[in-house]
Amino acid sequence: MNLQHVKQFFQAALESSFYLSPREPGLTYEELLEVGRRAGFQDGEMGDALSQVVTQTFGGGSKRLGPADSTMTHLWAVFPLGQNPDFRNFAAFDFIVSEMNACIKAMGGGAARIQRDVLVERGAARNLPRRDVEAAITIMIAGEQFLEKDGQIASRSGLVYEPLPSQQRSQMIGIRTLNEARASAFSFVRDVIERRTDGRPTNAEALDAFPDALDRLNYGAFRGWWVQIVAELRHSNPNSAPVSALVLSAALVEGALAFVVKHAQARGLGVLRSKSFDESARKWKIDDLVASASAGKDTAILDTASRQRAEWLISARQRIHAGRMLSDHPGGAPDLRPEEAREAKTVAELVVRRVLDWLDRYPPLK
C-alpha cells in the first residue's frame, strides 16, 4: 500500500470529524493512530503519512489535530465536487445559506450576523438534525465561506450566496465509484468520537484499552510496562522475529490475567480461586492463570475455545526453554512459522478482550 493511499485515508478521517463532532472537530494523534490501526495500517507508514497530513490547528489546551492543507478544507464547500460516500446533508447546507442570504438582504452584508445556537435551533424546528446543521456551519467556516466570532456567524464576502448548495450539486456530471477507504474512515472515526463520552474505553483495540483497566484495578503504575510490551509486540516482525511475537503475546496474556486475580478474589467470584494464588505473585504460572480463568462456571473469563487457544500459545512459547524442547522435541524443535506468530498476536488480543468484557460484567468495587 503506497503512502498516498495512507494520506488519503487520514484526510478522510479528519474530514469525518467535522461532520461527526462539528463543535469540536479534529482528532488527537492517539485517535488517528487508533483509526489507522483498525484500517490495517502499520505504525511506520502512519507516522510518515501523518507528518504530512495534520497540523495543530485548534487553540487552547486541546490536543486535537486538523488538516495541514487548507486547500482540502476549501474543497469541502465546493458542492459540485462530489464524493462517494458524500457526508454532506444538502438540506442543512441549503438551510443555513438561505438564512444567511435573508439576513444579508435585511441588514446588509457588513452587518449581517446570526447567533449560531439560534441558527441550529431554527434548523431543528424544520426537522433537520442538529448535528447536520452544526456540521454545515463548521464546513462553511472551514471552507472560508462563513466567519464565526463570539458565537455569531457572518458571511465572509458579505454577498448573497447563489446558487444554493443543492443546486450546485445538481451540476455534477457522472457518478463517482465507492471510495471504500473513505467509508471505513467515517465508521472508525464515528466509533472513536462516541467513545469520548459514552463510557466505553477510549480505544476499541483491546491491547490499547487495557491501560485504562489497570487504573480501575489500582494497578496504574503498570501502565508504562503494558504500553511498552504492546509497542514491542506491534513492531515485532512475524517473518523475521516470530519467537519475539510469541513471547510478548504470552506476556500480555499472563499479565492481563494476573492483574485481575486480586479483584476476582475481592468480589468473591468462582474464577481465579486456585490456592496457588495465595502465594507470592512471583510464583504464579501462566498455565495456572489460564486454567483458573476458565473455571467458575458463569463467572469464568475464558470459554472453552479461548482457553484452548491460550493453551496453544503457552505450548508454543515453551520453545524458549531448552529443557522443555529437549523433552518435547528430542529430535530438534520444528521451525516456527510466521502464521503461528500472527496467531499468537490474535490470541493475546482475544484473551485481553475477554478480560475487559469480564471486567464490564464484574467491575471493581468502590
Of 169, 197, 226, the position where a domain reaches its end is 169
Residue 322 has pLDDT above 70, yes or no: no
Query: Are residues 166 and 132 in contact, defined by beta-carbon separation less than 8 angstroms?
Result: no
Q: Nearest CA to 25 among 69, 2, 71, 59? A: 59
Residue 90 has pLDDT above 70, yes or no: yes
My answer on whether 124 and 17 are in the same domain is: no
Q: Tens digit of pLDDT for each residue in 162-195?
A: 999 999 888 776 556 678 888 889 999 998 898 7
Q: Tens digit of pLDDT for each residue in 91-101?
A: 999 999 999 99
Is 200 domain-assigned? no
The total number of residues shown for the chain amounts to 366
180 contact partners, CB below 8 Å, separation of at least 6: none
My answer on whether 356 and 211 are in the same domain is: yes
Give me 238's grid cell: 512475524
| pLDDT value for 297 | 87
Q: Tens digit of pLDDT for each residue in 233-261?
A: 888 888 888 888 899 999 999 999 999 99
| pLDDT value for 60 | 45
Q: What SS3 state is found at 152?
A: strand
| pLDDT value for 318 | 79
**CA atoms of 253 and 223, how far apart (whole Å):** 15
Is 366 domain-assigned? no
Residue 72 has pLDDT above 90, yes or no: no
| pLDDT value for 325 | 64
Of 187, 218, 236, the position where a domain reaches its end is 187
| pLDDT value for 203 | 62
Instruction: Rounding to the nearest 10 degrees, give the CA dihedral for residues 324, 292, 356, 46.
Output: 0
Number of domains in the chain: 3
Residue 59 has pLDDT above 60, yes or no: no
Task: Give the residue ranges of DSSP H helices in the chain.
Answer: 3-20, 29-38, 43-53, 70-76, 90-107, 116-125, 130-142, 165-169, 180-194, 206-216, 223-235, 242-258, 261-267, 286-293, 304-317, 322-328, 338-361
Angle 187-151-23 (CA atoms, 0-180°, nearest 5)?
A: 10
Expressed as residue numbers, the domain containing 43 is 3-81+179-187
My answer on whether 279 and 308 are in the same domain is: yes
| pLDDT value for 333 | 65
My answer on whether 74 and 102 are in the same domain is: no
Residue 89 has pLDDT above 90, yes or no: yes
| pLDDT value for 335 | 67
pTM of the model: 0.63
